[in-house]
Amino acid sequence: MKFIKYYIPFLFVMGSLAIILHFFWLPYYIDNELQSSLAHEQEKTRLISDTVLSAMLSGDLAELHTMLDSVVENNVAWNSVILMKVDGTQLYPLFKSVLPPSDTVSIIKYPLIYNEQKLGNIQVQTDIDSLVAPKLQKLQHLELLVLASSFLIMLIGVFLQNKFIHNPLKKLSIASSKIAEGDFMMPLPKTSDTVLTKFVENFNHMRNDLKHRENQIMRQQMIQDSVHNMQSKFLTVQDTGAVYCDMLDTLLELSESHFGLIGEVKYDEKNQPYLKILVMTNIAWDIPSRNMFESVIKGELNFTNIDNLLGQALITGRNVIDNKPEVDLLSLGLSKGHPELKSFAGIPMYNGKQQLTGMVALANAKNGYTDNSISELNIIWNAIGNLIDAFHRKELLSDREAHLRAIVDNAVDGIIVIDSNGTVLTFNPAAEEIFGYNESEVINQCITILMPPMYALHYKEDIATHINNGRLELIGSSKEIKGMRRNGEEFFMEVSVAEVKTGTIRHFTGIVRDISKRKEQESQLLAAQAILSKNNDQLLGLSLRDGLTGIANRRCFDETLDSEIKRATRLGSSLSLIMFDIDHFKLYNDYYGHVEGDNCLTSLANSIADIFKRDGDLLARYGGEEFAVILPMTNNEVATKFAEVVHEKIEMLALPHAKSPTAPHVTVSLGVASLKPNKNTTASELIKLADEALYCAKSEGRNQVYSSNMKLINA
């Protein structure tokens, strides 16, 4: 159904053409031919009467009969010829014959007068229709041929337009809108048009760039969320082994590795480092390897031999990457039967004081390991190093307060504890780094010193509301709000607040994450999407422009004319239309070639574009060498003056046209039409009036303006 709608206007034109040809033009032509044939037969009758008159005066009846027999024989359309004297005597033929009445027979009488005296009359019965019938048959065949040819051309034209122009433009517009909305999977259309191809290429580059940026942002968000989850589980989960298992699963997923381990760095009595395995992937392949995995669960597996690939990260203190490990697994510190090692990465873990606390080993990544893929996870390595250290300190600290302090001090996110009055009780090192304050500068101060003025004004009111009815917007969920650093800089941060009650004492613990960089990346992505949206608007504008001349195309003309008719109907104002085309443009193309023909069209469009600068005026290429101008709120007199200016300006161009029968240079014929539309007025009515005026300008000799109201303007 969508495809059929493009044919409806053309089918309407074809139907109108068929009706005009069959019911108006053809009967009009037949009537003219009948009148012409009848006049011709009357003239023949007059000529014969002159000859017959001479024979009657001479009294030679034999010559008279011979002559009239010859006339009847040579005029096949004549059914009979009767010659009678004024007294009623029939001289020819000798016998009286009466033809049956017929609608197709015409009777022509002509008097025989000599010296102003009527001697008789001659009467001819002729079948005019038989004379016109051959021409009528040919015209009917021609009518069918014209309709069939026009219909075939219409089918081909609409098919080609839909396939090579409309469909690619529509698909490209839909694709660009989807991309602007963040859908990067929408396929872009293929097209043979040079301009559209360039747009498709630009859109493809921008789409890939946006997709890459969005993937980077999503990747960073995923990494930050993983760190946040690690820290949250550290604070809430009592089972240390479960926390380490979740850490390893997260690392395997982010690095796309098949197996790996996390270990804590310990030192023996000789102060030599070794690795205590905290968690590792279960890749047991025999009884000894299963026993080894069970010892990991019990916390009893230590790797003391570090003179191998696994221990290089501990020895050097730097990342170790090997995407082509040697075949001999024993030289790598691995047991016989160990699964094939295709790639390896060893990453040392440090705490906040740059002390080596642990190590992560990963193996068999999907695409191997690179410095970039490892450094991308730096925030996780730092978090794991701090958490290993915190877990270690947790084991050593028996006092709960000291234990919590270790957690707070080693957290990547800022942790702030306040009482019900808003006084800061705890301010960890990460919070110091985020806000730029030392702990001593914030402790016992009101939390509002970390807030922009607009938040500080409502803080006490929000706290009072929560204490009274138990509702505080930040509690139990993460919110994005603005904080203020020591230097007065405002920044975006993500805050989640938990309330801790001890008897009648209420404390509020907030975890703060600086998300200003993420916000900046999001702003860059939004800016890129805005550019894409702008390009989409440019593409839509391109679909309304003629590719050759740069002015509005037929589609833009049709849409604009419909809207201007509606506007003129609402305002009760006049609307005018000028239609003009280049005289004898086919002869121009045949003589100068199509390239020069295109240059001619472009020159004319550029020369007259400056004439129509009013709001609402539209100059468009209507089709081929024909142009149209829509003039809102313009009566016929003013529109005609505009047409005269166009005519004069094209005359001044003086573009040579050696083959023009009208003038030695390029000329145009213009038709002007105006009306005050009402709710029943259609665009085709105004177009028809302007087209009829243009036809009159051509039929009157071309190179002139013709107004439907004021008739011929200049010749």
Helical packing angle, 167-180 and 516-542, nearest 10°: 160
Residue 527's pLDDT is 79
40-68 burial code (b ≥16 CB/10 A, e <16) = ebbebbeebbeebbebbeeeeeeebbebb
Which residues have CB under 8 Å from 295's CB, separation 6+?
301
For residue 2, what is the enclosing H or E element? none
- Of 181, 439, 625, 644, the catalytic one is 625
State whether 324 and 461 are in the same domain: no
Torsion angle defined by CA atoms of residues 673, 564, 633 and 569, in that order, rounded to the nearest 10 degrees:
90
- Give which of 623, 634, 539 is closest to 579, Cα–Cα: 623
580 lies in a domain? yes
DSSP annotation of 446: B
Are 712 and 644 within 8 A, CB to CB? no
Residue type, 93: P
Residue 713's pLDDT is 47
State whether 554 and 488 are in the same domain: no
233 lies in a domain? no
Q: What's the CATH code of the domain at 434? A: 3.30.450.20
153 lies in a domain? no
* DSSP character string of 41-86: HHHHHHHHHHHHHHHHHHT-HHHHHHHHHHHHHH-TTEEEEEEEET
SS3 of residue 571 by DSSP: helix
For residue 583, what is the enclosing H or E element? none
State whether 421 and 467 are in the same domain: yes
Helix, strand, coil abundance in the chain, percent, nearest 5: 50, 20, 25
Distance in angstroms (rounded) separating the CA atoms of residues 123 and 109: 4
Asked which of 396, 426, 448 is the last residue of a domain, the reply is 396
Residue 351's pLDDT is 84
Are 710 and 636 within 8 A, CB to CB? yes
pLDDT in tens, 130-174: 666 676 667 667 767 777 777 777 677 666 666 666 666 666 666
State whether 248 and 369 are in the same domain: yes
CB atoms within 10 A of CB 190: 10
Number of H helices, E strands in the chain: 21, 21
Q: What's the CATH code of the domain at 696? A: 3.30.70.270
* DSSP character string of 263-296: EEEEE-TT--EEEEEEEE-----SHHHHHHHHHH
SS3 of residue 703 by DSSP: coil
Count of domains forming the chain: 4
* DSSP character string of 625-672: TEEEEEEET--HHHHHHHHHHHHHHHHHH--B-TT-SS-SB--EEEEE
381 lies in a domain? yes
Asked which of 132, 163, 194 is the last residue of a domain, the reply is 132
Residue showing tokens 């380490």: 244
Which residues have CB under 8 Å from 364's CB, separation 6+?
257, 258, 259, 339, 340, 341, 342, 343
Asked which of 69, 103, 132 is the last residue of a domain, the reply is 132
State whether 569 and 684 are in the same domain: yes
Strands 490-502 and 618-623: unpaired
Distance in angstroms (rounded) separating the CA atoms of residues 202 and 192: 15
State whether 360 and 430 are in the same domain: no
Residue 42's pLDDT is 76
Handedness of CA 79, 85, 87, 91 (dihedral sign): negative
State whether 557 and 702 are in the same domain: yes
Residue 364's pLDDT is 87
686 lies in a domain? yes
Which residues have CB under 8 Å from 163's CB, separation 6+?
none
pLDDT in tens, 573-589: 999 999 999 999 999 99
Token digits for 205?
Answer: 């580059």
State whether 575 and 684 are in the same domain: yes
Distance in angstroms (rounded) separating the CA atoms of residues 93 and 578: 66
411-446 burial code (b ≥16 CB/10 A, e <16) = bbbbbbbbeeebebebbbbbbbebbebeeeebeebb
State whether 383 and 481 are in the same domain: no
Distance in angstroms (rounded) separating the CA atoms of residues 367 and 572: 72
Go through the chain and tell me how many residues it has.
715
Distance in angstroms (rounded) separating the CA atoms of residues 309 and 343: 11
Distance in angstroms (rounded) separating the CA atoms of residues 478 and 481: 10
User: Domain containing 128: what range?
Assistant: 4-132
Biggest distance spanned by C-alpha atoms of the chain: 165
215 lies in a domain? no
Helical packing angle, 128-161 and 26-58, nearest 10°: 160
State whether 59 and 32 are in the same domain: yes
Token digits for 624?
Answer: 């081929």
State whether 336 and 271 are in the same domain: yes
The residues of the chain scoring below 50 in pLDDT are: 1-3, 327-330, 398, 712-715
Which residues have CB under 8 Å from 556's CB, separation 6+?
544, 545, 618, 620
- C-alpha distances out from residue 217 to 378, 520, 527, 536, Å: 16, 10, 14, 24
Q: Strands (DSSP E) along 397-533, which ranges?
A: 414-419, 424-427, 478-484, 490-502, 505-514
Residue 587's pLDDT is 93
R_g of the chain computed on alpha carbons: 49
Q: Report the half-sphere exposure of 169 (CA within 13 A, side-chain side).
A: 18
152 lies in a domain? no
Q: What's the CATH code of the domain at 110? A: 3.30.450
Residue type, 594: H
540 lies in a domain? no
State whether 358 and 320 are in the same domain: yes
pTM for the predicted model, two decimal places: 0.38
- In the annotation, is 625 catalytic? yes
Q: What's the CATH code of the domain at 344? A: 3.30.450.40
